[in-house]
C-alpha cells in the first residue's frame, strides 16, 4: 500500500494543499545508479553505443544533473520562509527579475526565465533572498509553469500571513522551441494574485506599473 501513496505524492510534486499548514513528506535520496542504468538503456534504444568514448560517462553526468535539477523534491519550501522579522512596514515589497530554471514534467526538458514577486506585509517581513530561495525550491522539481506560479503565491500567503501576494513568471520553454512546433523566442507569462492584489484593482495596477519601471543601471 505504501507504493501507490508514494506515487501519488511524487505526482503532485510533494506539495501540500493551499489550505494546509503542513508540508507533505519529502522525497528520499536520489538513486543515482538507477538513473545511470536507465540512461544507458535510452542510449541503446536510440541506436547509440553507451560504451564509446564520448558517451561512457554520460549516464553518470545525467544522474548528477537530475540530482541537481530535482533538488526541490528534497527541500521544504515552507521552511525557507519561517525566519521573519517584526516590522511595521505595510507598503508593497517587490523583487523583480529573479532568475529560475525548472524542468517541464511533460517532456523532461528545461524551461527558464524570471519571476517577479510582491507581497503586502502584515506586521512582519522576510529576507529578500528567502523569496528567491522559496522560488528555487519549487522550481527544482518536475513542474508546469502555471502550477508553480500558484504554488509560490499560496506559499507566501500562508507562511508570511501577508495581506496580499502577486507572482508573475515569464519563461521560455525548450519543449516548445527545440521540438514539436519549433517556436524559439516564445515566452509564456503566468500570474497569480492573492488577497489585496486580487481584490483591489489599484493595488494590482501599482504592481504592474512598478514592473514597467527600468531596473537599476
Domain spans of the chain? Answer: 32-69, 79-212
Residue 143's alpha-carbon distances to 14, 89, 108, 177, 194, in angstroms, are 11, 34, 9, 17, 21
Choose among 77, 136, 128, 133: nearest CA to 112. Answer: 136
For 71-106, write each residue's pLDDT tens digit.
999 999 999 999 999 999 999 999 999 999 999 999
Q: Kindly name the residue from 104, 116, 151, 159 that is annotated as catalytic.
A: 104
Instruction: Note the pLDDT of residue 17.
Output: 41
CB count, 10 Å around CB of 64?
14
**Measured distance CA(117)–CA(153) in Å, rounded:** 8
Residue 188 is a catalytic residue: no
Which is catalytic among the residues 48, 60, 67, 175? Answer: 175
Q: Which CATH class is domain 79-212?
A: alpha beta
Instruction: Catalytic residue, from 107, 170, 198, 206: name it.
Output: 107
182 among known catalytic residues: no
Asked whether residue 160 carries a pLDDT value surpassing 70, the answer given is yes
pLDDT, mean of residues 125-140: 97
105 carries an active-site annotation: yes
**Residue 161, Cα to own-chain centre: how many angstroms?**
21
Q: What is the pTM of this model?
A: 0.86
Question: Is residue 6's pLDDT more than 50?
Answer: no
The per-residue pLDDT for 171 is 98
> Which of 136, 143, 145, 159 is an active site residue?
145
Q: How confident is the model at residue 25 (pLDDT cuts 50, 70, 90)?
A: confident
For residue 217, the model assigns a pLDDT of 54
Name the catalytic one among 105, 150, 170, 206. Answer: 105
Known catalytic residue at 104: yes
- The CATH code of the domain at 32-69 is 1.10.286.10
Give the CA distances from residue 67 to residues 1, 30, 63, in Å, rounded to whole numbers and listed in that order: 27, 6, 6
Amino acid at each position: 500500500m505504501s507504493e501507490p501513496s508514494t506515487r501519488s505524492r511524487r505526482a503532485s510534486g510533494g506539495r501540500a494543499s493551499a489550505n494546509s499548514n503542513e508540508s507533505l513528506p519529502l522525497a528520499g535520496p536520489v538513486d543515482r545508479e538507477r538513473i545511470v542504468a536507465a540512461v544507458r538503456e535510452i542510449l541503446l534504444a536510440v541506436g547509440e553505443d553507451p560504451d564509446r568514448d564520448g558517451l561512457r560517462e554520460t549516464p553518470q553526468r545525467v544522474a548528477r544533473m537530475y540530482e541537481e535539477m530535482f533538488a526541490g523534491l528534497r527541500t521544504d519550501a515552507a521552511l525557507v520562509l519561517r525566519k521573519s522579522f517584526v516590522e511595521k512596514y505595510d507598503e508593497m515589497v517587490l523583487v523583480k527579475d529573479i532568475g529560475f530554471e525548472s524542468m517541464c514534467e511533460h517532456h523532461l526538458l528545461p524551461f527558464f526565465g524570471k519571476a517577479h514577486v510582491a507581497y503586502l506585509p502584515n506586521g512582519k517581513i522576510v529576507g529578500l533572498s528567502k523569496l528567491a530561495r522559496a522560488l528555487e525550491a519549487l522550481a527544482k522539481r518536475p513542474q508546469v509553469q502555471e502550477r508553480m506560479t500558484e504554488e509560490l503565491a499560496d506559499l507566501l500567503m500562508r507562511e508570511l500571513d501577508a495581506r496580499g501576494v502577486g507572482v508573475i513568471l515569464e519563461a521560455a520553454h525548450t519543449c516548445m522551441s527545440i521540438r514539436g512546433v519549433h517556436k524559439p523566442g516564445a515566452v509564456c507569462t503566468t500570474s497569480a494574485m492573492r488577497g489585496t492584489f486580487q481584490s483591489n484593482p489599484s493595488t494590482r495596477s501599482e504592481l504592474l506599473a512598478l514592473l514597467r519601471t527600468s531596473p537599476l543601471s
